Amino acid sequence: MFSRIRSISIKEFRQVSRDTRSLGILIFIPAFMLLMFGYAVNFDVDDIALAVYDEDNSVQSRQLIDKFVHSGYFDLKYYLDSPREIDRLLDRELIRVAIVIPENFSNSIIRGEDVSIQVLIDGANASAAATVMGYTNTIVQDYSLDILSETMLTAKGTTFAPPIDYHPRVWYNPELRSPVFLIPGLIAFILMVTSAVSTSLSIVREKELGTMEQLAVSSIHPVELIIGKIMPFVLTSLISTVFILLGGYLLFGVGVAGSFLWLSLLVVLFLFVALGWGLLISTTSDTQQVAFMKALTTTMLPTFILSGFVFPIHNMPVAVQVITYIVPARYFLEALRAIMVKGVGGAVFWEQIIALLIFGFILVLVSTRRMKKQGYVTV
Amino acid sequence: MNAITVKNLTRKFGDFTAVDNVSFDVKRGEIFGFLGANGAGKTTVIKMLCGLLTSTSGNATVAGYDINTQPESIKRTIGYMSQKFSLYEDLTVSENLNFFGGVYGLNERDLNDRIAWAVEMAGLTDKKGALTGSLPVGWKQRLALGCALLHRPQVVFLDEPTGGVDPVSRRRFWDLIFTLAEEGVTVFVTTHYLDEAEYCNTIMLIHAGKIVAGGSPRQLKTEHIRYPMLEVNCTGIIESLNILQQQDWVIESSVFGTLLHVSVENEEAGSRKIKEVLSEHNITVHGIERIVPSLEDVFIHLTDKP
C-alpha cells in the first residue's frame, strides 16, 4: 500500500516540477496575493486629506484645527480662502473632509453661546466615511470638553471632569491594523483556491490523457490513488502557508499568538476539505479547462466574499449569512483568527473543527462514489 | 483450457446497445484478433473484460475469474494497453516504467529485473533517460506494451495497439506479440488493419455490437465466401463498378485499389460475361483472374449486407 502511494506521489512531484506553468501558479499566486492584500487592500483610515476654511481665524479656531492635525489621522492639505473651493476639491477627491469654521466661532465660545461648525465628508466610500465621521466627532467633542473645563476653571475655580470617563481598549488587535485581520483570510483564500484548482487539474489531466484508465486496470485502490495524488499538493500548500506566515510576520508584523500545533492541525484539516472539493470537481469535469473554471469560480468568490475574509459576516443580510454556513472557509477562518490573533486553543473552536471534518468526509465520500460509478476505480 | 470465456455479454448505454449478446472463447496462449469498424463495440467488450466497465447482463471469466464478482483478481492477472496512448509524456522512459511497476506493486528487485527486460524488449536501451513525449509513436507503443507487461500478466488486452504507427514499427510490434504468445501469454488484440488480422490464430468479427463471424483466418475465407472471386483489371474503375453492380448475375463487387473484386456463381461464365458487358460500354479489360479472397473481402461481405 505505502509503496504504491509513494510511487504515485513521486510521479506527481516529477510532473509538477517539470510543469513550469503550474509550478509558477503554485508559487507566484500566494506571493502576489500576500503583497496585494498586505499593501494595496488597506481598510485602515489614516492620512485623511483635510481642507479648512477658517472664517474666524482666531486662537480658538486654530486650536480646533491643531486638534485635527495632531490626532494623527488627518493631513491638513489646504487652507482655503473661499468656501467655493471645497466643491472642487471634494469632486476631484483631492480631499476627503472639509471643515468650515464660521466667523463668530471664537466670540460665541467666549460668550458661552452655542456655535456650530460645518464638516463635509466624502461619502463615496461608505465605510471609510463612517470612520472619518467617528474621528471628527471625537475630536470636536474633545475640544468642546476642553472649552467647558476651561470655562469652569475661570468661573468657579474648579476643574471640570465629565461624569463618565471613557477609555476604550481594543483587544487582540490594539492598533486596529488591517493586516492582522487580512493575513488569516489570505491563508484560507490561497489554500482553498490553489488546492482545489491543482487537485482537480491533476486528476482531470489523467482522464484527458487516458492514463486514468491505465491506473484503473492496475488494481490500485482509490484511496491509495487519491492519497498519492494529493500528497504533493498537501506539501506545497503547507509550504505556501509557511511562506505567508513568514511574509506576514516580516512585512506586516503579524505574528501567531496561539500554538503552532493547533495552527498546523487546522491547516491540514482545511486542506482535507479543499482537496476534497478539488476531487469532487474532477469527477464532474472531462477537460482541464472546465475543471479549472469550475474550481476557480466555486472557490474564489465564496472564499473572498462569504467567508468573512474581507466582509464581516455579522454585517450581512440574514439570507446571505445563512449561505455562509456552507462555505467551509468560514469555519476555518473563524478558527484560524482565533489562533493567530487571540491565541486561544481548540476548546474554543471545536464547533468549527467538527464542521470542517463533516465537510471533508462528505466531499471525499461523494467523490469516491462518483469515481467508482464512472468506472475509474472499482472496489 | 480457455483463458477467456464470454457468455451472452451485453452492455447498454441508455437506449443504445453497444454490445449485444456476445459469446466467444479465447484459448490459453493464442493470439485472438477482435475485428470491427470504429464504434462496433470492440473497446466496450475489452473494458468489460478488464473490469473497467460493468456489464448490463451476461457473464464472462478472464483467467478463471468472474468479471462481475472478481474484478480485482482479474486486474492482477491481466495487462491492458488502451487505444489512446496512455503513458506520461512528461516523464522519461525509465520513470514511466518505475511508476507503473510501483503501481502494480512489484518489489524493488523484481521491478529492476522487469524494467531491464522491458527496456530490452522495447529496444529502448539508449532512450532510458529520454522524455516519453519526444519518442516516435512506434517507440511509445512498444514502451506502453512494456509497461503493461511489467507484472507478468497471463492475459494481455491490446486495444488497437498499432493505430497511427508506420509499417516497419507495426511489424516490429507484431514480432513482440508473437514472442509473447510463444511464452504462453494469451493476447487479445483489436485492430482494423486486416493484414494484421491474418497474424491471429482466431479472429472474431464484431459488427454493430454483434458477433458476425469467427474462426481462423483460413476458415473465415473459405466458409463465408462460397462463390469464386474474380479480380478484374480494367479502365474506368468506378464506371465499371456501377455497370457490374446493375447485373443480376454479379453477387458482390467492390473496388480494391485500381482493381475490382467481383463474386460470380461460375468462374468461366462470369469472366466471359464481365468482358462482354464492359466491352459494350467501351471499357478495355486488361485481364481477369480468379483469386483467393482476402480477409478484407470477407469483412466487406459480412458487414456490408443490407
Q: Which domains does chain B have, with CATH numbers?
A: 2-217 (3.40.50.300), 225-303 (3.30.70.100)
The closest alpha carbon to B21, from B211, B294, B234, belongs to B211
Asked whether residue A78 falls in the same domain as residue A217, the answer is no
- Which chain B residue lies closest to A6 (C-alpha atoms)? B102
Please indicate whether, in this complex, the C-beta atoms of B80 and A19 are within 8 angstroms of each other: no
Please indicate whether, in this complex, the C-beta atoms of A215 and B104 are within 8 angstroms of each other: no
A161 part of a folded domain:
no
Asked whether residue A335 falls in the same domain as residue A188, the answer is yes
Interface check for A216 against chain B (CB to CB < 8 A): the answer is yes
pLDDT at A44: 67
A378 part of a folded domain:
no
Contact present, B83 and A220 (Cβ < 8 Å): no
Interface check for A203 against chain B (CB to CB < 8 A): the answer is no
Interface check for A312 against chain B (CB to CB < 8 A): the answer is no
Q: Which residues contact A99 (CB under 8 A, 6 or more apart)?
A: A50, A51, A52, A53, A64, A65, A68, A117, A118, A119, A120
Chain A residues in contact with B52 (beta carbon < 8 A)? 213, 216-217, 375, 378
Q: What letter would DSSP give residue B126?
A: G
Range list of β-strands (E), chain A:
48-54, 74-80, 97-101, 118-121
CA distance B96 to chain A (A): 8
Asked whether residue A231 falls in the same domain as residue A339, the answer is yes
Give the three cell numbers for residue B44: 466496450
Residue with cell 512585512: A251
Count, residues in chain A? 379
User: Which CATH number fits the domain that encloses residue A145?
Assistant: 3.40.1710.10
Give, in degrees to the nearest 5, the angle at Cα A235 between A229 and A241. 135
- Report d(CA B2, CA A150) in Å as an integer: 111
A223 part of a folded domain:
yes
Interface check for A23 against chain B (CB to CB < 8 A): the answer is no
Asked whether residue A31 falls in the same domain as residue A77, the answer is no
Out of A106, A124, A156, a domain closes at: A156
Please indicate whether, in this complex, the C-beta atoms of B105 and A19 are within 8 angstroms of each other: no
Residues forming a β-bridge with A52 = A79, A99
Asked whether residue A106 falls in the same domain as residue A133, the answer is yes
User: Of A2, A23, A211, which to mutate for an interface test with B (greatest number of B Cβ within 10 Å)?
Assistant: A211
Asked whether residue A340 falls in the same domain as residue A196, the answer is yes
Give the three cell numbers for residue A233: 499538493
Count, residues in chain B? 306
Asked whether residue A52 falls in the same domain as residue A18, the answer is no
Asked whether residue A244 falls in the same domain as residue A144, the answer is no
Query: pLDDT averaged over consecutive 10-residue blocks of chain A (379 residues)?
Result: 87 86 76 79 77 91 90 88 89 90 89 88 83 87 85 74 73 71 86 88 88 85 84 85 88 87 92 92 92 92 88 87 92 92 85 94 89 62
| Counts for chain A of helices (H) and strands (E), in that order | 14, 4
A171 part of a folded domain:
no
Give the three cell numbers for residue B238: 468506378
User: Of A18, A201, A217, which to mutate for an interface test with B (greatest number of B Cβ within 10 Å)?
Assistant: A217
A163 part of a folded domain:
no
- Report d(CA A230, CA A236) in Å as an integer: 10
- Which chain B residue lies closest to A377 (C-alpha atoms)? B52
Asked whether residue A294 falls in the same domain as residue A251, the answer is yes
Window 66-85 of B: residues touching A by CB (8 A cutoff) are: 71-72, 75-76, 78, 80, 82-85
Asked whether residue A115 falls in the same domain as residue A259, the answer is no
Query: pLDDT averaged over consecutive 10-residue blocks of chain B (306 residues)?
Result: 92 91 93 89 91 90 93 90 87 94 89 93 91 91 93 94 87 93 94 87 91 89 84 89 89 87 89 90 89 83 69
Kindly write down the DSSP assignment for every residue of A144-197, as one continuous string: HHHHHHHHHHHHHSS----SS-------SSTT--HHHHHHHHHHHHHHHHHHHH
A168 part of a folded domain:
no
Asked whether residue A112 falls in the same domain as residue A251, the answer is no
Asked whether residue A225 falls in the same domain as residue A267, the answer is yes
Chain A residues in contact with B86 (beta carbon < 8 A)? 209-211, 213-214
A24 part of a folded domain:
yes
CA distance B13 to chain A (A): 13
Domain limits for position A273: 2-41+177-373
Pairing of strands B285-291, B31-35: unpaired
- Which chain A residue lies closest to B131 (C-alpha atoms)? A18
- Which chain A residue lies closest to B70 (C-alpha atoms)? A379
A297 part of a folded domain:
yes
Chain A residues in contact with B99 (beta carbon < 8 A)? 7-8, 10-11
Interface check for A77 against chain B (CB to CB < 8 A): the answer is no
- As for how many domains chain A has, the answer is 2
Residue with cell 479489360: B285
